[in-house]
Amino acid sequence: MRIHCNHLTYRYPATSLYVFKDLDFNISEPGFHALFGPSGVGKTTLARLLAGKENDHSGALRTEAVSRILYSYNTERLPGWASVGMHLAGVTREGQKNRLEELETVFGLTEHLDSRFGQLSMGQQNRVNLARYLVQDFDLLIMDESLANVDEATREKIILCIKRIFPGKLFLYISHNVAEVARFCREILVLRGVRRSPQAISIHGQDQTSDDRSDAAELERTMLEIVHAS
Amino acid sequence: MLHKRLYQFLIVYLIGLSVLLGFKYGLSLSDYVIPGVPMIWKAAEGASGRYVADTLNTLGVAVVGHMISIFLATVVGILGRRRSWAGSMIRAAAYNIQAYPIVAVAPIIFILLGDGPVSRLLIAAMICYFPLLLSFMGIFSEPVKDIEHFFNATGRMNWRLQVKIRAFENMRKLTTVIVGSATMAMVGTIVAEFIAAANGIGYSIRIALYQSDLAKILVALFYIGIFTSLYLFCLEWAGFRIEKRFETPKEGRG
């Protein structure tokens, strides 16, 4: 399972503004990886290119052993005609009902299943949205600020749960939280903007799989690396 | 809602009547030009029964014509929402045809189909069909990206779901357009009757016009206003019930 990017160049249609020029990076194994960088640097554009929602780029952007890519983002909504529980049950794949129940519990959604999506807070809405993607068939799930507005403790529980349930899948988590990506992600791809070279730097994260916070010095070192790179 | 609609109409009607009477008494015009209140009252007493029946006849045709045009606009709007060449062709045809004043073809319809209810129905439906169609096509062809993305990405999207999402998200717009076009359906039917039909309140107005009887015309306008208000209220009420059924209570958001 691999994402390979070689000399990727892309600019928005009908503009002369380059988002990427000769961008290179590699993500070569499954796991929970991050896409990090300041606002406007092209994280969402790269995610959309990967998901096939944007085209007309030059250079190579290839995946290997990844046949199904899903892209979730934080402003998605559910239709308002049914309750959250009915919607989740309706979109869950055959044989995934138990997984859905587990996710509902860990994500703290159990008591909101009878509510309509519009009744939920933004954090709850993002959790519901992410849960429905996790019960689909995918090899790579791009989470574009999918845990925005969720409190830190719940975010931590959710990320650890995802890492435990899906060890063989590839995740690309877009977040602005340095501590979080440093602690939980395996590879952190720091995008730095089209004017800097290299445009992307890959940093090894702590890839923690439990809430053990013992290695604070290592975590601090990774965080500093990310901040210096960005 | 009903009393608001009726108040609105009565205010407009009474203002119009007052202006007319203001001209009459201000310029000392005769009853032949603008009738006085006693003449209008007498005309109301004499013609009300027939005019109520005529207005209901017209309203019946307008309602059926309106329903036909809503159905057609929905079907064509759904077909025209597609990005294929067929969808583009339907949209281009709709935009071009609606630019022509449909009422101008009414005489041809009367020549071909006679002065019966079919002609009135067709004209009523045609007059409110194109504005409805343009709105429906606009609504059905505009993706609700934040909702549709998931269904597209997971391969669950089909045309029924797409239409359902777009209609649901634009329920208020749809209701407004349908209510707005109801008046046009009534106008279309009256115009058709006025041109050539032998039934309905438009036909009665034509007779009153030939008799230069403004009192009867004012009585006819009164009943047209009352019954149109009632029909608009029914549509608004139906839209309100649908919205209410799916409304999301805002309390409890964290």
Half-sphere exposure of B61 (CA within 13 A, CB side): 30
Rounded Cα gap, residues B6 and B227, in angstroms: 9
For position B249, what pLDDT does the model report? Answer: 59
For helices A152-165 and A122-134, the axis angle rounded to 10 degrees is: 0
Instruction: State the pLDDT at residue B88.
Output: 78
Q: Which tens digits make up the pLDDT trace of A94-114?
A: 888 999 999 999 999 999 999
| Portion of chain A with pLDDT greater than 90, in percent | 57
Burial of B11 (0-12, 13-18, 19+ CB in 10 A): exposed
Whether A76 has its CB under 8 Å from any CB of chain B: the answer is yes
Which domain range does residue A30 map to?
Answer: 2-80+138-229
Say how far residue A36 (Cα) sits from the centre of its chain.
10
| Domain B2-17+35-244 architecture | Orthogonal Bundle (1.10)
Angstroms from A85 CA to nearest CA on chain B: 15
Domain annotation covers residue A127: no
* Average pLDDT over chain A, rounded to an integer: 90
Question: At how many degrees (to 10) do helices B200-210 and B171-195 cross?
Answer: 40
A81, B164: Cβ pair inside 8 Å? yes
Question: Do B147 and A119 count as a contact with CB atoms less than 8 A apart?
Answer: no
Going by their DSSP bridges, the two strands A69-73 and A140-144 should be labelled as: parallel
d(CA A24, CA A31) in angstroms, rounded, equals 20
What domain count does chain A have? 1
Angle at B225 between CA B221 and CA B226, to 5 degrees: 120
Cβ contacts from A onto B, under 8 A: 49
Report yes or no on A132 lying in a domain.
no
Would A195 be classed as within a structural domain?
yes
DSSP-based three-state secondary structure for B247: coil
Residue B12 has a pLDDT of 93
Tell me B198's DSSP state: S
Exposed, middle or buried, B79 (CB in 10 Å: 0-12/13-18/19+)? middle
Quick check: B5 pLDDT over 80? yes
> With an 8 Å Cβ cutoff, are B153 and A129 in contact?
no
Is the pLDDT at B253 greater than 60? The verdict is no
Q: Which helix (H) or strand (E) holds B55?
A: helix B37-80
pLDDT of residue B165: 94
Q: Residue B254: its pLDDT value, please?
A: 47
- Residue of chain B minimizing CA distance to A93: B154
On whether residue A152 sits in a domain, the answer given is: yes
Asked if residue B252 has pLDDT above 60, the reply is: no
Report DSSP letters for chain A, one per residue: -EEEEEEEEEE-TT---EEEEEEEEEE-S-EEEEEE-STTSSHHHHHHHHTTSS---EEEEEEES---EEEEETT----TTSBHHHHHHHHSPTT-HHHHHHHHHHTT-GGGTTSBGGGS-HHHHHHHHHHHHHTS--SEEEEESTTTT--HHHHHHHHHHHHHH-TTSEEEEE-S-HHHHHHH-SEEEEE--TTSSSSEEEEE-----SS----HHHHHHHHHHHHHH-
> What does the pLDDT look like over B113-166, one tens digit per residue?
888 888 889 888 888 888 898 899 889 989 999 999 999 999 999 999 999 999
Least Cα separation, residue A86 to chain B (angstroms): 14
Q: Would you kindly state where each structural domain of chain B is located, as residue ranges?
A: 2-17+35-244
pLDDT over 90 (residue B44): yes
Res A125: pLDDT: 95
The domain that holds A179 is classified in CATH as 3.40.50.300
Confidence of residue B247 (pLDDT cuts 50, 70, 90): low
B→A interface, C-beta within 8 Å: 146-147, 149-150, 153-154, 156, 164-165, 168-169, 246, 248-250, 252-254
pLDDT at B206: 93
Q: Which of B132, B246, B245 is nearest to B185 (CA)?
A: B132
Backbone angles phi, psi at A148, to 5 degrees: -65, 145
> Pick from B189, B209, B184: which is nearest to B106 by CA?
B189
Query: Quick one: pLDDT at residue B250?
Result: 54
- Residue B85 pLDDT greater than 90, yes or no: no
Kindly report the nearest CA distance between residue B245 and chain A, in angstroms: 9
Whether the predicted pLDDT of B175 surpasses 70: yes
User: In the predicted model, is pLDDT for residue A44 greater than 90?
Assistant: yes
Across B211-220, average pLDDT: 94
Q: What does the alpha-carbon distance between residue B17 and residue B221 come to, in Å, rounded to a whole number? A: 11
Q: What is the pLDDT of residue B251?
A: 47
pLDDT at A213: 66
pLDDT in tens, A170-217: 999 999 999 999 999 999 999 988 888 888 899 999 888 876 666 788
- B247 to chain A: nearest residue by CA? A80
Number of Cβ within a 10 Å radius of residue A210: 9
Q: Given pLDDT bands bounded at 50, 70 and 90, which one contains residue B196?
A: confident
